[in-house]
Amino acid sequence: MNNSDFYSTIFKRKSIRKYKKEPLERSKLMDLQRFMEKLTPLYGDIKTEIAILSEKDIKLLLPIRSPHYIAIYSETKNGYLQNAGFMLQQVDLHLSANGIGACWLGLGLPQKESASRNGLEFVIAMAFGYADEPLHRQSTTEFKRKPLSEISSVNGAEELLEAVRLAPSASNTQPWYFSGSTDCIIISRRLPNILKEALYSKFNRIDIGIAMYHLWIAALHQGKAIEFTRDNYAVPKGNEYMATAYIRQI
């Protein structure tokens, strides 16, 4: 299964918080490892590394117990959080499409010996394993998301942005906003109040990367290609510029 096949998975994917105790078969873990070695980065100039960790390698602040975890490590360069979100969401959809549950862990930290990797900083972790609850949503009505009118002012991009609207985010904050035009979408982050900014600044930048991957998949589904750049366009008041998506027909 390649990235362009993930479009349908977006519309049924859910965060799994209950897992069976038995681990995945070695063959499936090896397949996952091979998939992760071929992830598409958002920004190719940022060094990253992704590792599969066991339960003993992770400290959890919430009781989401699973037999396996994934941690992504990165250089701390401009855009690295969005890049991490973009890459790890590929893994999230890959797992869901292949009958395996996953959940982003904002409150999960590696044990000391796994806190860094080859000089790269830990960014975020993801739990995964066989689900002990329904793996997929039965309908998009099960998503609790803002309507498109609250996250976009782009006329004519409703079908493209519907897949983005369903993206997961920390505490379901849905921080993204889209302006511009159908061939030049400007992506920004809604700035929260001071307290929430302290709590969610890091995670919401990761969330933006997740949404950007959904946008990339939706464009592929429509036979279009996207080039993401950091041009620093003007954005609506109360927002922070994140990236620009130039969209063209393939």
Main-chain phi, psi angles of 9, to 5 degrees? -65, -35
Find the CATH number of the domain harbouring 55: 3.40.109.10
Taking only the tens place, the pLDDT of each residue in 95-109 is: 999 999 999 998 777
The domain that contains 228 carries what CATH number?
Answer: 3.40.109.30
The verdict on 7 and 117 lying in the same domain is yes
Q: Which of 129, 153, 188 is the last residue of a domain?
A: 129
Tell me how crowded residue 245 is: count the other CB atoms within 10 A of its CB: 20
- Same domain for 67 and 115, yes or no, is yes
Quick one: how many helices (H) and strands (E) in the chain? 6, 11
Q: pLDDT tens across 139-166, in order?
A: 999 999 999 999 999 999 999 999 999 9
Residue 67 and residue 32 share a domain: yes
Token pair of 138 as six digits: 């039965």
Return the pLDDT at 4: 60
| CA 166 remoteness from chain centre | 11
Torsion sign across C-alpha atoms 116, 51, 46, 229: negative
pLDDT of residue 115: 65
pLDDT tens digits for 191-207?
988 888 888 999 999 99
Do the domain assignments include residue 157? Answer: yes
Residue 1 has pLDDT above 70, yes or no: no
H or E segment to which residue 179 belongs: strand 176-181
**For residue 35, what are its two tokens?**
């998939």
Is residue 121 one of the residues assigned to a domain? yes
The average pLDDT across 198-224 equals 96
Higher-pLDDT residue of 37 and 113 is 37
Which residues neighbour 53 within 8 Å (Cβ) at sequence distance 6 or greater? Answer: 68, 69, 70, 71, 110, 114, 125
Domain of 102 in residue numbering reads as 3-129
Domain total in the chain: 2
Residue 41 lies in a domain: yes
The predicted structure's pLDDT at residue 122: 93
What tokens does 23 get?
A: 């681990």
